[in-house]
Amino acid sequence: MNSKPDLKQLQQRLGYQFSNPEHLLLALTHRSYGNRNNERLEFLGDSIVNMVIAEHLFLQFEQAKEGQLSRLRARMVKGVTLAEIGREFDLGRYLRLGSGEMKSGGFRRESILADTVEAIIGAIYLDSDFYTCREQVMRWFKPRLQKLNIQDTQKDPKTRLQEYLQSRQFPLPQYEVVSVEGEAHAQTFHVSCALSSLDRKTEGVGCSRRIAEQQAAQAALQALGVEND
């Protein structure tokens, strides 16, 4: 969150020692801090992490179809997962943010943490080579990859609900945040889901709006009799 983060400490957390620490410093620099920021590194890192995870899944699940592999990869490289990795490194404390972004709690924001993780991956690639970078990515993702199985390829509740409604030419669901409770760093979201084909709204609760919406969609699928509890 400052102009001179403790790069030595962060490198220990990452498990990688940069030959040129300026690569890491740039990866930690959000666009709100200045024109020279991590957006290009984020672009590079996004491509690398998708390639590395795709390769691993291709080799691990030999019988999986293309759609199943795509959904498994999406689960691994989505913003929520990347942000979780960022929190494991306590990444928020090392970010370089503009004053406005800092005051609004940007160092806790899921999207900023996820983008920074991708930027760091890009920085490691520039600082070393693809094989070293792949090794780092695999080490960070290993605990999550070990838990994956082919059943994880089922589409998320919001997608399933949308496809169900579209197949019957029904209007799409309307999600609404009913309330938000708690402090900025530990909020609980209450979300409702309204359907023209249901006479009541379903509700979901979660630590993020996305999770709450997924819960509300799952409840809608159950209320429609599409899925069991």
Report DSSP state, residue 127.
Answer: H
CA pseudo-torsion sign 46, 112, 193, 188: positive
Instruction: Calculate the alpha carbon distances from 86 to 80, 83, 119, 130 in Å.
Output: 10, 5, 11, 21
Q: How far is CA 66 from the centre of its chain?
A: 21
Catalytic positions, please?
46, 118
pLDDT in tens, 102-143: 888 888 888 899 999 999 999 999 999 999 999 999 999 999
CB 54 within 8 A of CB 73: yes
Helix, strand and coil percent figures for the chain, each rounded to 5 = 60, 10, 30
Tokens of 156: 């998320």
pLDDT in tens, 159-217: 889 988 999 999 999 999 999 988 776 789 999 999 998 889 999 998 889 889 999 99
Tokens of 216: 């509300």
Task: Give dist(CA 14, CA 27) in Å, integer.
Answer: 13
Task: Give dist(CA 200, CA 111) in Å, integer.
Answer: 33
Q: Is the pTM for the entire model greater than 0.75?
A: no
- In one-letter notation, the amino acid at residue 214 is Q
Report DSSP state, residue 128.
Answer: S
